[in-house]
Structure 1
Amino acid sequence: MRKLMMAAAFALPMLGGAAMAQDTLKIGYIDPLSGGGASVGEIGLKTFQFLADEVNAKGGILGKKVEIVPLDNKTNPQESLIQAQKAIDSGVRYITQGNGSSVAGALTDFITKYNERNPGKEVLYFNYAAVDPVLTNEKCSFSHFRWDANSDIKMEALTNYMKGTPSIKKIYLINQDYSFGESVRTAARAMLKTKRPDIEIVGDEKHPLLKVTDFAPYIAKIKASGADSVITGNWGQDFALLLKAAADSGLKVNWYTYYAGGTGGPTAIKQGNLNDQVFQVAEGYANIDNKSSMAFEKALRDKYGFSLFYPRAVNEMRMFALAAEKAKSLEPVKVAAALEGMDYEVFNGGKGFMRKDDHQFFQPIYIAQFGELKNKEPFDEEKTGWGWKGVAKIDADKTVLPTTCKMTRP
Structure 2
Amino acid sequence: MFPISRRHGLRLSALALACAALPVWSLASSQTAPTGAPGAPIQVALIESLSGPFANTGEAVFRNVLWATERVNARGGIPQPGGARPLVVTRYDSKGQNEEALSALRAAIDDGARFVMQGNSSATAAVLIDAIGKHNDRDPARRVVFLNYSAVDPMLTNEKCSFWHFRFDAHADMRMAALMEVIRDDKALKGAYLIGQDYSFGQAVLREAKKQLAAQRPDVAVVGEELHPVGRVKDFAPYAVKIKASGAQAVITGNWGNDLTLLVKAAREVGFDGMFYTFYGNALGAPAALGDAGVGKVVAVADWLPNVPTPQSEAFYRSFRERFPRAADDYVHMRMQLMVETLAQSIERAGTVDALAVARQMESAQVQLAGQSGRMRAADHQFQQGLVVGVMGKQGAPGVQFDVEGSGYGFRVVRRIAADKAEQPHSCRMQRPA
Deviates more, 1:318-327 or 1:208-217: 318-327
Tell me if 1:292 matches 2:315: no
Q: 2:400 and 2:212 mapped to 1: Cα distance?
A: 33
Deviation at 1:242, TM superposition (A): 0.7
Give the structure 1 partner of residue 336 of structure 2. Answer: 313
Tell me if 1:46 matches 2:63: yes
Q: 1:207 and 1:15 mapped to 2: Cα distance?
A: 42
Q: 1:273 aligns to what SS in structure 2? A: helix
For the 8 Å contact 1:286–1:307, the answer to whether it is kept is: no
Deviation at 1:382, TM superposition (A): 2.0
Deviates more, 1:97-106 or 1:56-65: 56-65
Q: 2:341 aligns to what SS in structure 1? A: helix
For the 8 Å contact 2:98–2:123, the answer to whether it is kept is: yes
**CA displacement 1:111-132 (0-9 Å, x = unmatched):** 0111111123210000000000
Tell me if 1:267 matches 2:288: yes
Q: Which amino acid aligns with 1:91?
A: G
For the 8 Å contact 1:235–1:262, the answer to whether it is kept is: no
Give the structure 2 partner of residue 355 of structure 1. Answer: 377
Give the structure 2 partner of residue 30 of structure 1. Answer: 47
Q: Which amino acid aligns with 1:214?
A: D
Give the structure 1 partner of residue 398 of structure 2. Answer: 375
Deviation at 1:148, TM superposition (A): 0.1
For the 8 Å contact 2:331–2:404, the answer to whether it is kept is: no
For the 8 Å contact 2:342–2:366, the answer to whether it is kept is: no
Deviates more, 1:216-225 or 1:261-270: 261-270
Which one of the candidate residues 145, 148, 163 is aligned to 1:127?
Answer: 148
Deviation at 1:56, TM superposition (A): 1.0
Deviates more, 1:286-295 or 1:148-157: 286-295
Q: 1:376 and 1:224 mapped to 2: Cα distance?
A: 34
Q: Which amino acid aligns with 1:291?
A: P
Give the structure 1 partner of residue 416 of structure 2. Answer: 393
Deviation at 1:299, TM superposition (A): 2.4
Deviates more, 1:374-383 or 1:311-320: 374-383
Tell me if 1:276 matches 2:296: yes
| Root-mean-square deviation (Å) | 1.9
Deviation at 1:300, TM superposition (A): 2.0
| Residue-pair matches, total | 396
Give the structure 2 partner of residue 56 of structure 1. Answer: 73
Q: Which amino acid aligns with 2:33?
A: A
Deviates more, 1:235-244 or 1:13-22: 13-22
Tell me if 1:18 matches 2:33: yes
Larger radius of gyration: 1
Give the structure 2 partner of residue 145 of structure 1. Answer: 166
Q: 1:28 aligns to what SS in structure 2? A: strand
Go from structure 1 to structure 2 and tell me whether the alpha carbon gap of 1:31 and 1:233 turns closer, same or farther (over 3 Å shift): same
Q: Which amino acid aligns with 2:220?
A: I
Give the structure 1 partner of residue 366 of structure 2. Answer: 343
Tell me if 1:82 matches 2:99: no
Q: Which amino acid aligns with 2:377?
A: R
Deviation at 1:268, TM superposition (A): 0.9
Deviates more, 1:285-294 or 1:145-154: 285-294
Normalising by structure 2, report the TM-score.
0.88
Q: Give the unaligned 5+ runs of structure 2.
A: 1-27
Deviation at 1:301, TM superposition (A): 1.9
Which one of the candidate residues 175, 178, 181 is aligned to 2:196?
Answer: 175
Q: Which amino acid aligns with 1:32?
A: S
**CA displacement 1:69-98 (0-9 Å, x = unmatched):** 000001111110000000001111000001
For the 8 Å contact 1:352–1:363, the answer to whether it is kept is: yes
Go from structure 1 to structure 2 and tell me whether the alpha carbon gap of 1:130 and 1:300 turns closer, same or farther (over 3 Å shift): same
For the 8 Å contact 2:236–2:266, the answer to whether it is kept is: yes
Deviates more, 1:127-136 or 1:51-60: 51-60
Where do 1:98-117 residues align within 5 Å?
98-117=119-138
Give the structure 2 partner of residue 331 of structure 1. Answer: 354
**CA displacement 1:327-351 (0-9 Å, x = unmatched):** 2222111111111132333x45354
Where do 1:210-221 residues align within 5 Å?
210-221=231-242
Go from structure 1 to structure 2 and tell me whether the alpha carbon gap of 1:38 and 1:137 turns closer, same or farther (over 3 Å shift): same
Deviation at 1:273, TM superposition (A): 2.0
Q: 2:196 aligns to what SS in structure 1? A: strand
* Identical amino acids, percent of aligned pairs: 39
Give the structure 2 partner of residue 165 of structure 1. Answer: 186
Q: Give the unaligned 5+ runs of structure 1.
A: 1-12
Go from structure 1 to structure 2 and tell me whether the alpha carbon gap of 1:248 and 1:353 turns closer, same or farther (over 3 Å shift): same
**CA displacement 1:253-296 (0-9 Å, x = unmatched):** 100000112311121121x5221110001101001123333223
Go from structure 1 to structure 2 and tell me whether the alpha carbon gap of 1:16 and 1:204 turns closer, same or farther (over 3 Å shift): closer
Deviation at 1:352, TM superposition (A): 2.2
Tell me if 1:235 matches 2:232: no
Give the structure 1 partner of residue 11 of structure 2. Answer: none
Q: Which amino acid aligns with 1:27?
A: V
Deviation at 1:177, TM superposition (A): 0.4
For the 8 Å contact 2:393–2:400, the answer to whether it is kept is: no
Q: 2:339 and 2:35 mapped to 1: Cα distance?
A: 25
Deviates more, 1:329-338 or 1:95-104: 329-338
Q: 2:31 and 2:246 mapped to 1: Cα distance?
A: 67
Q: 2:108 and 2:316 mapped to 1: Cα distance?
A: 30
Q: Which amino acid aligns with 1:184?
A: V
Q: 1:167 and 1:377 mapped to 2: Cα distance?
A: 24
Deviation at 1:366, TM superposition (A): 0.8
Q: 1:385 and 1:14 mapped to 2: Cα distance?
A: 42
Q: 1:144 and 1:19 mapped to 2: Cα distance?
A: 25
Q: 1:403 aligns to what SS in structure 2? A: coil
Deviation at 1:235, TM superposition (A): 0.2
Q: Which amino acid aligns with 1:327?
A: A
Q: 2:381 aligns to what SS in structure 1? A: coil
